[in-house]
């Protein structure tokens, strides 16, 4: 079994535009057309049992619409193998009530929220994030971050150092930092994040990561806090599976990474 905790799809009416825009910004070619149907096709072809979809609101007024669309996808039995998260914008409090929106997501059985420091233009250690972190902690919602550099941006808001100094991460808040804690900033991941309590890393978009450093972070942080994630449609999950198996971690640790850790974190009854 494989649970891919880091995938993306977009509503059918904007999928083509979104994929074309992201391809132009990143200089990369997507592996599919960006719809939930393409994601499901890819899962079947590549042997992925469950995928987690991570939406991002780039503006505060997108939050409620995106969240309600994700709830509808989750309630559709045709898409039961794709579990969508919700999203919160760091400035949502300017137009709505953060706590009420998080409580609504919890009521609708959403597992967590996705945040992206680059697309949403915020620093994760900014004090304005406190209400979001406290709300997610109290409600048991996961906060899933893009971490490190992003191929479409020059600067970096979500650095390992900034993540590493967030006091909320030292408590009961459930946190996932994508891209092995910080894409292309893995020396800083080892310096500021490795071993941090309650913080998971995923493997998304990490094909170019040196094998020795991936192993070092897996062992140093703890194999029980590493999630398999691909970042599909931007990385082929099969290639990441091959990369992880090539690390020779052993069957027990591979099983943790491929699905057991996600099963526990997401509280799935498989």
The SS3 of residue 179 is: coil
pLDDT over 90 at 16, yes or no? yes
53-71 per-residue burial string, b: 16 or more CB within 10 A, e: under 16:
bbbbbeebeebbebbeebb
Mean of per-residue pLDDT scores for the chain: 96
Q: 96: buried, middle or exposed (CB in 10 Å: 19+, 13-18, 0-12)?
A: middle
HSE-CB for 265 with a 13 A CA cutoff: 31
Cis before 233? omega within 30: yes
Q: What is the pLDDT of residues 24-83, one digit of tens each?
A: 988 999 999 999 999 999 999 999 999 999 999 999 999 999 999 999 999 999 999 999
pLDDT at 270: 79
What's the mean pLDDT in 87-111?
98
Q: Which positions ≥6 away from 209 have C-beta within 8 Å?
A: 180, 186
Domain ranges for the chain: 3-266
pLDDT at 244: 98
pLDDT at 149: 96
pLDDT at 269: 85
Residue pair 158/192 in contact by the 8 Å Cβ criterion: no
pTM as predicted: 0.96
pLDDT at 94: 97
- Dmax over CA atoms of the chain, in Å, equals 50
Choose the CATH number for 3-266 among 3.40.50.10860, 3.30.56.10, 3.40.50.150, 3.20.20.140.
Answer: 3.20.20.140
Tokens 């042997």 -> residue: 47
Q: Which positions ≥6 away from 262 have C-beta within 8 Å?
A: 3, 5, 50, 52, 227, 228, 268
């Amino acid at each position: 079994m494989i649970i891919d905790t880091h995938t993306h799809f977009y509503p059918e009416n904007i999928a083509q535009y979104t994929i074309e825009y992201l391809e132009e910004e990143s200089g990369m070619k997507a592996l599919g057309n960006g719809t939930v149907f393409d994601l499901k096709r890819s899962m079947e072809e590549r042997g992925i049992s469950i995928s987690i979809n991570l939406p991002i609101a780039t503006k505060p007024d997108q939050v409620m619409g995106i969240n309600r669309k994700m709830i509808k996808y989750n309630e559709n039995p045709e898409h039961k193998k794709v579990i969508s998260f919700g999203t919160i914008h760091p400035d949502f409090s300017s137009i709505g009530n953060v706590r009420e929106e998080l409580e609504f997501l919890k009521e609708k059985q959403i597992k967590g929220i996705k945040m992206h420091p680059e697309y949403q233009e915020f620093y994760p250690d900014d004090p304005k994030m406190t209400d979001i972190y406290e709300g997610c902690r109290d409600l048991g919602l996961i906060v899933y971050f893009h971490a490190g550099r992003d191929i479409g941006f020059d600067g970096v808001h979500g650095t390992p150092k900034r993540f590493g100094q967030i006091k909320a991460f030292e408590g009961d808040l459930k946190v996932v930092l994508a891209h092995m804690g910080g894409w292309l900033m893995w020396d800083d991941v080892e310096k500021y994040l490795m071993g941090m309590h309650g913080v998971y890393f995923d493997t998304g978009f990490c094909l170019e990561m040196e094998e020795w450093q991936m192993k070092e972070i897996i062992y140093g942080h703890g194999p029980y806090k590493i999630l398999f994630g691909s970042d599909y449609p931007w990385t082929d999950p099969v290639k990441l599976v091959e990369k992880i198996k090539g690390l020779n971690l052993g069957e027990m640790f591979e099983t943790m990474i491929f699905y057991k850790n996600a099963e526990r974190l997401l509280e799935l009854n498989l």
